Amino acid sequence: MRERIKMKAQIKSKLLEQKNSFYIQLGHPVANIPEEEVFRDIRSVFPEVFSENSESAYLFWQQIPIRFHYTYELYWNLEALVDLFIAMQSDNSGSYHLFIQTEILIGEWNVDWQNDSVKLRSKWTGKDMYSPLAELLNKKAPLLLHKQVFLEEWKGILQQSSNVLGAINFKDLSVRSSFLEKLHSVLNKIDNVGQLYKR
């Protein structure tokens, strides 16, 4: 009897974990590093380095895949995401509001964390024909995650971004060094990779 109750509890826990799942499948796009071009800011690098036809990453939001293209999604979101992660790593509790933009969706995120628990409430708006996808996402419950697990999922994309930015020429080198310092401060506090890449 006790074993049956224990098994039911484990199944319920697993279902809850799946219901609140968030993970990232990395892409492996070829980065075409220009030898002569000099960039003025961080965000302008990615549309030049990655082709529109290059392989994308995917955010799996409670089993729903959201394409995360390296060309535009890093252009729109990388700096805001790094600021979010710095805030999460700096304080045991806090709240953060930001907008995440993809080619087909805009997500308004409200992130609350307390110690190692994160609650991410989102409101999605679909571009053009993608309103049904936004409606489906909006029907999902908020994400409930461990803070470190959430950060681990982003480690791959952050590392890929760091590799690219470290090879790029900037008109003002302090632009690169300042951002890379922030980026590396985040990466150095994330010990593990996302769940798809753990052995």
Predicted local confidence at residue 15, as pLDDT: 40
Predicted local confidence at residue 2, as pLDDT: 58
Stretch 164-193: mean pLDDT: 93
Is the pLDDT score of 12 beyond 90?
A: no
Q: Is the dihedral of CA 19, 23, 29, 32 positive or negative?
A: positive
Q: How many residues does the chain have?
A: 199
Return phi, psi of residue 161, to 5°. Answer: -65, -40
Helix axes 73-90, 173-187, angle to 10 degrees: 50
Measured CA to CA, the distance from residue 112 to residue 101 in angstroms comes to: 20
Predicted local confidence at residue 1, as pLDDT: 56
Stretch 103-116: mean pLDDT: 97
Give me the residue spans of the domains in the chain: 2-197
Is the pLDDT score of 20 beyond 60?
A: no
Predicted local confidence at residue 198, as pLDDT: 86
Percent over 90 (pLDDT), the chain: 80
Predicted local confidence at residue 37, as pLDDT: 83
